[in-house]
Amino acid sequence: MSILACLIGILTLMISVMMQVQQMEKNGRTEEEMARATKNRDLQIQAKELEKKIAELDEKLKQDKSTVSAMAKIKEARIALTMKLKELEKAKDPKLTDAQLQKQVENMKKEVKALKKERPPLAKRLEELQAELKKRKETPKPKESVVVQPRGVGQGGARNLFFVECNSTGIVLRDAEDGEKKLSTAAIKTSGVYAKYLDRVKKTEDSMVLFLIRKSGNEAFRWAAATAELKYKLSTGKLPIPNDGKIDLSLFKR
């Protein structure tokens, strides 16, 4: 019992001493020091909150910069497309409607398709001609030029003649506006170039189309003449060409 009493007394003494020490520490501070300590604690809390807000603002700024960059790229692309559109509008013929432009595109597609179909026969014909040349011992002499005479070639006495050569591969518009134009037989019906040529003939007073027909050009002649006569109501004439030599039209004064 005496030992237990001693322990209780010692614990009571220690608790009393600790309380006195704490009271002394607190009593040693002034109210101003206590206020500064409280304010310092509040400032530390506010600093942490501000650091968090700054981090959020930095992230938002990065997003805003990426958005501005994307908007700038979109703006540049829009400007480029607008300039391209203006160029296309300048290049477009105002006399042509959308339907006419679409029709031209369709005709061009048909011409390309026709050329693809004709390519194998033409390649075969070329091979045959090359084989024939190899069999010959002598180099074939060039054909003499065919001089077309002005008199007696026109039907109805037209003053303005337009010349279309017909051969094994198609037709040649000898006096097109921007130089000779060659068209395949399959492309005659749908060719915009031939249609433009016939329109020019039709607008020319006292005119006709004179077809210069080579020995192998009958099929091309039939298609070309039918288009000129039936669709465009033009006067036509034909003149056989006796050989494959160069056609000389120098005697004609257009």
Confidence bin at 223 (pLDDT 50/70/90): very high
d(CA 217, CA 166): 5
- For the ranges 10-19, 86-95, 168-177, 187-196, the lowest mean pLDDT is seen at 86-95
Q: Where is the domain boundary, 51, 67, 92?
A: 92
Alpha-carbon distance values, 80 to 25, 67, 69 (Å)? 77, 20, 17
Question: Residue 103: pLDDT above 90?
Answer: no
Is it the case that residue 150 has pLDDT exceeding 60?
yes
Same domain, 240 and 151: yes
Same domain? For 83 and 150 the reply is: no
| Contact (CB, 8 A) for 185 and 217 | no
Nearest to 234 by CA among 182, 187, 199, 192: 199
9, part of any domain: no
**Could you say which DSSP state residue 230 is in?**
I
Q: State the total domains in the chain.
A: 2
Please report, for the domain that includes residue 165, its CATH number. Answer: 3.30.420
Residues 70-75 have a mean pLDDT of 68
| Pair (157, 243) in one structural domain | yes
pLDDT: which is higher, 105 or 154: 105
Higher pLDDT, 243 or 61: 243
Please report the pLDDT score of residue 11 as a whole number: 77
Which range scores top for mean pLDDT: 128-132, 145-149, 206-210?
Answer: 206-210
Q: Within a domain: residue 244?
A: yes
> Averaging pLDDT over each range in 14-28, 34-48, 123-137, 169-183, which range is the top one?
169-183
Residues 177, 241 within the same domain? yes
The verdict on residue 120 lying in a domain is: no
| 225 & 158 share domain | yes
The model's confidence at residue 204, banded by pLDDT at 50, 70 and 90, is very high
Residue 235 and residue 163 in one domain:
yes
**Residue 16 is assigned to a structural domain of this protein:** no
pLDDT at res. 33: 66
- Measured N-to-C along each axis, helices 98-135 and 192-203 cross at an angle, to the nearest 10 degrees, of 110
- Residue 196 near residue 183, CB atoms below 8 Å: no
Could you tell me which residues come within 8 angstroms of residue 242 by beta carbon, excluding any fewer than 6 positions away?
Answer: 146
Q: Does one domain contain both 238 and 152?
A: yes
171 and 86 housed in the same domain: no
Domain boundary among 70, 92, 114: 92
For residue 107, the model assigns a pLDDT of 74
- Flag whether pLDDT at 154 surpasses 50: no
Judge contact between 148 and 247, C-beta under 8 A: yes
Q: How far is CA 7 from CA 4, 16, 176, in A?
A: 5, 14, 131
- pLDDT band at residue 193 using 50, 70 and 90 as cut-offs: very high
Same domain, yes or no: 153 and 241 = yes
Beta strand 236-240 with 247-248 is unpaired
Residue 209: inside a domain: yes
In this prediction, residue 171 has a pLDDT band, given cuts at 50, 70 and 90, of very high
pTM assigned to the model: 0.47
Identify whether the C-beta of residue 222 lies closer than 8 Å to the C-beta of residue 152.
no
Residue 181 within a domain: yes
- In the block, residue with structure tokens 């909150």: 49
Give the residue, 202 or 36, on which the prediction is more confident. Answer: 202
The residues, ordered by sequence, that sit 6+ positions from 56 with a Cβ below 8 Å of its Cβ are none
For residue 240, the enclosing domain spans: 146-248
Q: Report yes or no: 239 and 251 within 8 Å, Cβ to Cβ.
A: no
Looking at the domain assignment, is residue 140 inside a domain?
A: no
Q: Which two tokens stand for residue 191?
A: 């060719």
